[in-house]
Amino acid sequence: MRKVINLVLILITLILTYWLYSSIREPIAFHAERDKRKDAVVAVLKKIQVAQDVYRMVTGKYAANFDSLSSVLNNGKIEVAKLEADPTDPTNQDKFVTTVSYTPAKDSLFSILNQSINVDSLRYIPFAGGKTFEIDADTLTHQGSLVNVVKVGTKYKEFMGEFANPTYKKYDKFYDPEKMIQFGDMNSPNTNGNW
């Protein structure tokens, strides 16, 4: 009888130990995975943000879709104007000669990011199995002026995998799988990110 009681107590202890380990492990795993995935998504959004700025230098507006963004960044050129003193009249410092040259948009993107990127792959959300970011661009009248606006982002549920369930809110009261992680705003000329 004593052996049976000891065996039952050992079994209960093992079950309670496993339950305690699981209850500690799950929030730690959630936070680690959320941070890893969010950081990867933010890194891509920052690259898209720079790509949109380069696109705007070439075209004067933001790209409303990734095909246009990719095409212009791969093939477009940025105008670079250089002002120099007039060499025919070195005494007059008020006269300038403008020299215009063009640099490939892809080179400008490379120099800003300090890395080579495949602009065709910017559209894909990390950890989302081939899903793409939502992208939109337009013009808007803001304080009496016509301005360009852009918004690029995705919902957390698209890249959180098994953690896309709202029940994980118990580990982070601000976590919402339906919340957008994005930069830009279609209602104001703002290209800041919300991360």
Q: Can you give the length of the chain in residues?
A: 195
pLDDT at 126: 93
pLDDT of residue 92: 65
Q: Mean of the pLDDT values across residues 30-51?
A: 92
Q: Which of 7-11, 41-45, 62-66, 126-130 has the lowest mean pLDDT?
A: 7-11
* 3-class secondary-structure state, position 124: strand
The number of C-alpha atoms within 13 Å of 92 and in the hemisphere containing its C-beta is 8
Phi (first) and psi of residue 11, to 5 degrees: -65, -45
What is the pLDDT, as a whole number, of residue 93? 65
Q: What is the mean pLDDT of residues 110-135?
A: 87
Going from N- to C-terminal start, the domains of the chain cover 26-74+114-184
* Lowest model confidence (mean pLDDT) among 27-36, 97-106, 173-182: 97-106
CA distance 37 to 43: 10
**pLDDT > 90: what percent of the chain?**
27
Confirm if 65 and 72 have CB atoms less than 8 A apart.
Answer: no
Q: pLDDT tens digits for 147-175? A: 999 999 999 999 998 888 888 888 888 88
Between 12 and 22, the more confident residue is 12
User: For residue 32, what is the enclosing H or E element?
Assistant: helix 2-59
With cut-offs at 50, 70 and 90, classify the pLDDT of residue 87: low
**Res 187: pLDDT:** 87
Q: What is the pLDDT of residue 115?
A: 79
Flag whether pLDDT at 114 surpasses 90: no
Q: Which two tokens stand for residue 74?
A: 């791969």
Q: Which tokens hold the place of 142?
A: 């803001």
Residue 40 pLDDT exceeds 90: yes
Residue with the larger pLDDT of the pair 117 and 95: 117
Count other C-beta atoms under 10 Å from residue 111's C-beta: 10
C-alpha dihedral, 135 to 139 to 145 to 151, nearest 10°? -10
Give the mean pLDDT of the chain. Answer: 85
Q: Determine the pLDDT at residue 90.
A: 64
